[in-house]
Amino acid sequence: MSEIKKYLAYEGRINIICAETTDLVEEARKLHDLSPVATAAFGRVLTMASIMSTRIKGDESITIQIKGNGPIGNITCVYNGLNEVKGFVGNPTVDLPLKENGKIDVGGAVGKDGFLYVIRDMKLKEQYVGVTPLLSGEIAEDFTKYFAESEQTPCVVALGVLVDKNGVKKAGGYFITLMPDAKEEDIEKLEKNLKVIPSVTEMLDSNKTLQEMAETITGDDNLMVMLGDIIPKYKCDCSKERFIKNVEKLSKDDIDKLYENGDTEIETVCQFCNKKYHIKRDEIKK
């Protein structure tokens, strides 16, 4: 299942967005043939992109890039403004031993030296680009730091991907922000609760609904439902026409190089979904 819901807790003084992205992350795992650690790292970023998409206006798009110094290479994720995300990782087959606590070593795969970029295209002339140094490469902490430093938004971010031998068992996350009238006691209550609640994947794996999850996280069973029925998807919008357009932008020399050795067609692969397209020389000439 994949679904996002938004609630207000503590009589409207705290905002919480809860997401389940199991199907979405499984689709990404299959398309990119991701290793378990690549599934966990990429899945966390895809989940965050889906959550962030509910905080922006209509057709705005977001690109997230995580450039760490770990063996997974760069992680790129794009939200297209239509509840659809897509992306790719540098090294989809990266394999690392589990950490001492038995958890997948996402921080080790991403690396803690590097940067997190968020590029927001509001369809105006200028794009908004936010950047912060990574904290741990574990993704959720890096986004918490990003929001605090780059968007002046103190928040709580939790992201989790549970992988078993069949693929993605559960994936999801939550994002909490304070409304301007939040009280000191609200923050204390929330912090106290966050220390004792299960992880995102534990909650999803025990079949909690998103509302039950939000109730557990906040300790408030009088939530106000703000937004429902958002179904985020992993979807690529590539087409042969788009690839032909890209080849057309190259110089004549470069196009000739593509077709050297007398080949009459070239093969292109979409990096977002691994779909292959064969482009004939005639199609470019046209």
Count residues contacting Zn ion (CB under 5 A)? 6
- Selected from 236, 243, 268, 279, the binder of Zn ion by CB under 5 A is 236
Using CB under 5 A as the binding rule, whether residue 270 contacts Zn ion is answered as yes
- Residue 115 or 277 with smaller CB distance to Zn ion: 277
- Residue 174 or 234 with smaller CB distance to Zn ion: 234
Choices 14-22, 36-44, 76-84, 238-246 (CB under 5 A): range interacting with Zn ion = 238-246
CB of 284 to Zn ion, least distance (A): 20
- Selected from 10, 79, 88, 272, the binder of Zn ion by CB under 5 A is 272
Which residue reads 């939530």 in tokens?
A: 223
Q: How far apart are CA 45 and CA 49, in angstroms?
A: 6
- Residue 57 or 276 with smaller CB distance to Zn ion: 276
Q: Name, in order, each residue with C-beta under 8 angstroms of 245's C-beta and a sequence gap of 6 or more.
A: none
DSSP 32-60: HT--HHHHHHHHHHHHHHHHHHTTS-TT-
CB of 240 to Zn ion, least distance (A): 11
Break the chain down into helix, strand, coil percent, rounded to 5.
35, 30, 35
Q: How far apart are CA 137 and CA 113, in angstroms?
A: 8
CB of 275 to Zn ion, least distance (A): 5
- Selected from 238, 247, 255, 266, the binder of Zn ion by CB under 5 A is 238
Choices 39-47, 143-151, 236-244, 254-262 (CB under 5 A): range interacting with Zn ion = 236-244
Using CB under 5 A as the binding rule, whether residue 273 contacts Zn ion is answered as yes
In degrees to the nearest 10, what's the CA dihedral of 143, 149, 153, 156? Answer: 40
CB of 236 to Zn ion, least distance (A): 3
Choices 139-147, 178-186, 210-218, 234-242 (CB under 5 A): range interacting with Zn ion = 234-242
- Residue 10 or 272 with smaller CB distance to Zn ion: 272
Using CB under 5 A as the binding rule, whether residue 89 contacts Zn ion is answered as no
Neighbours of 148 (CB within 10 A): 13
Across 234-249, b (16+ Cβ under 10 Å) vs e yields: bebebeeeebbeeeee
Q: How far apart are CA 97 and CA 81, in angstroms?
A: 37
Q: How far apart are CA 251 and CA 253, in angstroms?
A: 5
Amino acid type, 3: E
CB of 60 to Zn ion, least distance (A): 21
CB of 89 to Zn ion, least distance (A): 15
CB of 101 to Zn ion, least distance (A): 37
- Residue 145 or 275 with smaller CB distance to Zn ion: 275
Q: How far apart are CA 30 and CA 27, in angstroms?
A: 5
Residues that bind Zn ion (CB under 5 A): 236, 238, 270, 272-273, 275
